[in-house]
Structure 1
């Protein structure tokens, strides 16, 4: 069970009256931000007083979270909540300096407040820690020591922390998956009309960053549509880099077969995924993909690269291998 939910039991015992999540919050709808939003909602429904300190740059104003206006405001908010005896749960990727600075600041606040937990989500975190010099590794080790628990979403992340000297007693391996509370029952008319003309339908959720393998998905669709004239591929998520992604689709002549939906509300995202025949996760690195677990829970067959943690029943292919990706999709479709 994700460590967030332990707060439910402790809160009812009177030990954790207030929980502050520190991390990104939708929009955009990424794995970490969706997890933070769901965890906050679940605790709130259970009567736990909780809040979110949203570290997403340029986040719009919202009553759902506290928006951070720069580093100084971030530190002030942490100090204020620490003085008021909040418990901190910091969610971050762990694969860049900013991530560890956020974790360090959150850990110091947790020590001044009512304690805290750190969750590391990214499959890129082990490589980041292993490739750094002594200073990087020291900062990570000392940061982890500030938290009562450090949750790693897969074994590779935990192993990288153990190699730094973090005590195994402090570590927990747990997927960051919480089931959605609502799935949209209706689709936008334009997407619904497009889907009615497509079969089979693939779906994928990503950001347009190299580690997400969008180019690999494009290559696979180009090959698959030669055999499946009515094939459709829903690409969900991503705003930054979308113009370049659309240009790549045009260069391959796939405008008819690929629909780039952009960042959508997560209930709609789940609805679109549920209407697909295969969900594709073509990442080059991963922690424990929430979208893969969502597809499995929905009963949608999943084809995913063999990186990070994958639940049972997922059809795996070697990361970056377009031939194997196409072969696995064909096998899952039964053709």
Structure 2
């Protein structure tokens, strides 16, 4: 008999968690029925998924009551606690996935989180590093990556294809960000580092092209305008292009020579695992554990990043190697046991 799984999290937001939620539901759709509560900021995007920010508490409680299992992916701590407590009151089976430590960087916040997570049947944690922060009997470490279905990925828009065609004789370096934000007063996704790398590429006449995709322009600090102005004023447009809208980053990675993840904090980044799955070289900051096959650079060090980029793009072409073994089969088995 199919179970009704209520998934709560940032369903419509463009980012790793929303990708995970959608791929997980698609993967298990033949075995279970999925409904959703979206916590993302309201947008003009048309969707049939109930958005919590509508403040329609009657619909929230209706969905909660109808569920057999409540699977919570929220990173907003006070919302996480409310969801867990109310699901417990409704006597539902509770599953929580912890995707990162970005809101759990103090001992007190972890202690409070543990108190609420003890009410869950299972707490899924996406990496060993995050897992080590929690003393829970019900925890399981399970990476968030689910392989993309390439056939379902949107084609790249003409503007991107034009950039690729114009730079077909260059090595293509791709990067992405959910949106431009600061973490600890530094650029979370490291666009400033990539602009610094672009300066070095130009100064050393390297035949590289950087494409940096920013999926959402919902930012209040005007960082995009600042970076676009720097690129324009320093005549770096031939070296680095900013794409201020969402595209299939999977399709762009397939057209690239190198993927970069320059974040100054991270969880189990889907970009890193997708690059490994697609047999693309991936350079990532050393802020957290990275899967086998990832090339690390020193966090917030653009010179080291540039050095690693040169090493990768100038080494002889290697035989493709995937570092992820049959994750679809693993997911099906493990989630059947969890649910």
Q: Does 1:173 align with 2:141?
A: yes
- Scaled by the length of structure 2, the TM-score of the pair is 0.81
Q: CA deviation at 1:325?
A: 0.5
- Written as runs of structure 1 = structure 2, the 5 A alignment for 1:1-335 is 14=1, 17-26=3-12, 28-44=13-29, 46-60=30-44, 62-70=46-54, 72-73=55-56, 75-93=57-75, 99-111=76-88, 112-127=90-105, 129-130=106-107, 134=108, 136-162=109-135, 167=136, 169-183=137-151, 184=153, 186-198=155-167, 199-206=170-177, 207-209=179-181, 210-237=187-214, 238-239=216-217, 240=219, 241-265=223-247, 268-334=248-314
Which residue number in structure 2 is paired with residue 3 of structure 1?
A: none
C-alpha distance 85-113 of structure 1, shift in aligned 2 (>3 A): farther
More helix by share: 1
Counterpart CA distance in 1 for 2:100 and 2:230 is 27
Tell me the number of residue pairs that the alignment of Structure 1 and Structure 2 aligns.
300
Counterpart CA distance in 1 for 2:4 and 2:267 is 28
Deviates more, 1:28-37 or 1:181-190: 181-190
Q: CA deviation at 1:261?
A: 1.6
In the alignment, structure 2 segments of 5+ residues that lack a partner are: 182-186, 316-339
C-alpha distance 59-38 of structure 1, shift in aligned 2 (>3 A): farther
Counterpart CA distance in 1 for 2:229 and 2:256 is 24
In the alignment, structure 1 segments of 5+ residues that lack a partner are: 1-13, 94-98
C-alpha distance 297-64 of structure 1, shift in aligned 2 (>3 A): farther
CA contact (8 A) 1:208 1:245 kept: no
Give me the CA root mean square deviation.
2.1
| SS across alignment from 1:69 | helix
| SS across alignment from 1:201 | strand
C-alpha distance 247-122 of structure 1, shift in aligned 2 (>3 A): farther
Q: CA deviation at 1:230?
A: 4.0
Counterpart CA distance in 1 for 2:128 and 2:234 is 38
Q: CA deviation at 1:264?
A: 1.7
Cα deviations by residue, 1:212-253 (Å, 9 ceiling, x for unpaired): 111111111221233345421111124134323322322432
Q: CA deviation at 1:123?
A: 4.0
